[in-house]
């Protein structure tokens, strides 16, 4: 499909895990395309799975009204369907098959000449591969993990941090009442952005990040030192991908039919058992899990998602294709999709918030 200055029929899809703000992007993309450029917009159902199975439908202006504040995605999503390596079952065996040409044929059947992909690093890797095949593609960075390379922030992150901070606030009272060590495990995969921001915002005493392997004895000593000073409880915010020095992240399960088969988790419970034995103090773990993905988006995520969706359409209509809409230094910008594929953004060890946390005596387990 050759690049054009203007596109008449555009498809939009939401891939990967859900998060607050997806509907705000769908709304911005659809309303901008229709009202500003007279283009048609089609919604692909359930991410790349809907593209593989040819499930898509037109989106009218009224279809995307009153969805700005709604969490999740009206189009549905799927995080197990890589069109370039789709798991096909034959009897008891499973093999990977490249169905990307079939996907392009489905788009041609509906006269769709460009696609907007809303997702994280996995979604963008496939988007970049479709761009190489000649399909004009635009990317919008979505993930609660804030780990998409090339952008200062992704929408969905602020909502997740708000939820996690609220949880940390709430465990303070029960930790204080029972004189316990309360461990709050948050999402983030291999990036510690949620743990860092929610931990600092919630006043966590210890924050454990994937980027800074921790030493268990240092955490135990820190908890003991607090109790010696009359602090009879401690709060620990831990990212699911955090790992001990010289060790590996804790794996909850492996999904063989997923493009990203490793599912992290379990560090909170393990850490609680270890610290209870080492310190003699009552320890409890709270795993927030998918509650961080749910609910209505914050005002920040609504506006950010709207900006991203609008920016993606504007770039597309100006012929600046195969790019990811990003926010850099507070300004709307873009980077080539080819640069985003296969990369994630982790927390720098010299991040200002880490320095600020250390300055107020927060431990990072080292």
Tell me the pLDDT tens digit for each residue of 10-20: 999 999 889 99
Our answer to whether residue 145 is catalytic in this structure is yes
pLDDT attached to residue 338: 94
Centre a 10 Å sphere on the Cβ of residue 143 and count the other Cβ atoms it contains.
28
* pTM of the shown model: 0.93
| Alpha-helical runs (H) found in the chain | 22-37, 48-52, 100-109, 121-132, 157-178, 193-201, 216-228, 267-279, 299-317, 337-340, 352-359
Please report, for residues 49, 236, 298, 321, the alpha-carbon distance to residue 208 in angstroms, rounded to integers and kept in the order given: 35, 8, 25, 39
More confident residue, 3 or 52: 52
10 Å CB burial of residue 277 (0-12, 13-18, 19+) is exposed
Cβ atoms 298, 153 nearer than 8 A = no
Domains identified in the chain and CATH numbers: 9-155+297-340 (3.40.50.450), 161-293 (3.40.50.460)
Question: DSSP class of residue 289?
Answer: G
- pLDDT for 1 beyond 60: no
Q: Is 139 helix (H, G, I), strand (E, B) or coil?
A: strand
Q: Is 31 helix (H, G, I), strand (E, B) or coil?
A: helix
Q: 236-255 pLDDT, tens per residue?
A: 999 999 999 999 988 877 77
Centre a 10 Å sphere on the Cβ of residue 41 and count the other Cβ atoms it contains.
24
Centre a 10 Å sphere on the Cβ of residue 190 and count the other Cβ atoms it contains.
18
CA proximity to 48, closest of 17, 8, 78? 78
- Of the listed 113, 145, 147, 301, which one is catalytic? 145
pLDDT attached to residue 198: 98
pLDDT attached to residue 178: 84
Helix (H) or strand (E) run with residue 114 in it? strand 114-119
Residue-averaged pLDDT of the chain: 93
Q: What backbone phi and psi angles, to 5 degrees, belong to 286?
A: -120, 120
The packing angle between helices 299-317 and 22-37, to 10°, is 40
């Amino acid at each position: 499909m050759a690049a054009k200055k203007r596109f008449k029929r555009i498809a939009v899809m939401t891939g990967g895990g859900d998060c607050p703000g997806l509907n705000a992007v769908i709304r911005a993309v659809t309303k901008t395309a229709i009202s500003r450029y007279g283009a048609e917009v089609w919604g692909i159902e359930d991410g790349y799975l809907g593209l593989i199975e040819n499930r898509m439908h037109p989106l009218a202006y009224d279809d995307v009204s009153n969805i700005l504040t709604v969490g999740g995605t009206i189009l549905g999503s799927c995080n197990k369907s890589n069109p370039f390596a789709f798991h096909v079952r034959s009897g008891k065996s499973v093999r990977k098959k490249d169905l990307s040409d079939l996907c392009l044929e489905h788009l041609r059947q509906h006269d769709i000449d460009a696609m907007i992909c809303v997702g994280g690093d996995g979604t963008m890797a496939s988007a970049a591969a479709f761009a190489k095949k000649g399909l004009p593609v635009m990317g919008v960075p979505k993930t609660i993990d804030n780990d998409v390379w090339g952008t200062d922030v992704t929408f969905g992150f602020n909502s997740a941090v708000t939820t996690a901070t609220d949880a940390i606030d709430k465990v303070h009272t029960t930790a204080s009442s029972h004189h316990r060590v309360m461990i709050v495990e948050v999402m983030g995969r291999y990036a510690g952005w949620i743990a860092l921001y929610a931990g600092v915002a919630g006043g966590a005493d210890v924050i454990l990040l994937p980027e800074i392997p921790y030493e268990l004895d240092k955490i135990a000593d820190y908890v003991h030192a607090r109790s010696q000073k009359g602090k009879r409880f401690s709060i620990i915010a831990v990212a699911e991908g955090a790992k001990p020095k010289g060790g590996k992240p804790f794996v909850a399960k492996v999904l063989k039919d997923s493009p990203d088969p490793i599912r992290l988790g379990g560090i909170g419970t393990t850490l609680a058992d270890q610290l209870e034995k080492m310190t003699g103090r009552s320890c409890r773990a709270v795993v927030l899990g998918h509650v961080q993905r749910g609910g209505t988006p914050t005002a920040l995520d609504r506006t950010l998602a709207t900006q991203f969706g609008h920016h993606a359409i504007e770039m597309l209509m100006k012929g600046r294709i195969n790019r990811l809409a990003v926010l850099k230094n507070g300004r709307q910008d873009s980077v080539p999709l080819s640069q985003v594929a296969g990369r994630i953004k982790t927390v720098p060890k010299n991040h200002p918030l880490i320095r600020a946390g250390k300055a107020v005596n927060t431990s990072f387990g080292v």
